[in-house]
Amino acid sequence: GNWIGDVPEQLKDLSFVEKMLVARLRHNYCIMKVVKSGQYKMKANAIMFEVPMPKIYQALPPPRADLDEVLAYIYIGSIKPSEEDHKRSPMLVRRNKVKIALEWLKLNHSNYADLDISESNLAEYPENVPPVVCDYRRPPEHKNSENLAVNKNEEEEGTDKGPCPFIVH
């Protein structure tokens, strides 16, 4: 069916935000929620919404201010996220990885042939913190056990090591 071949090395392992930065067409916006339950386990979910007026970029990556218009980041945990928490989330940008991906796309994809790669825009993106404001929230207080569903699993969801699981809805 839909198999188009192997993914080139230059495009492998891009984070969610890095994929947004190399996309020439911006046709949706996203709310990203990262939840750290207990002390260690993390999981991430994203909800995408259609943008009424899609935007086509001549220069990539887009300016950092443009990302604020299409991406919101909510972090829910008992304490504010640490640098290590951010590293485990799909929210960080590796500038070198983005540059290599854009250079490959410009040489190998017809829709990117006339693309301008903006070094100044790329330099705006930090590498150790998310490129958008992190809206930190504490989790809701625990409810009485008699209010929980009888089939509720008390096992925490997520993973305690490496990148957190990530689902786009």
Span 76-119, pLDDT tens digits: 998 899 898 888 888 999 999 999 999 999 999 999 999 999 99
Angle at 64 (CA atoms; ends 62, 65), nearest 5 degrees: 105
DSSP 63-81: PHHHHHHHEEEEEESSSPP
Prediction pTM value: 0.84
Domain residue ranges in the chain = 9-140+164-168
pLDDT score, position 63: 97
Span 43-85, pLDDT tens digits: 999 999 998 888 999 999 999 999 999 999 999 998 899 898 8
Query: What distance in Å separates the CA atoms of residue 167 and residue 59, rounded to the nearest whole number?
Result: 29
Span 29-43, pLDDT tens digits: 899 999 987 667 899
Spatial CA neighbour of 166 closest among 24, 149, 154, 157: 157
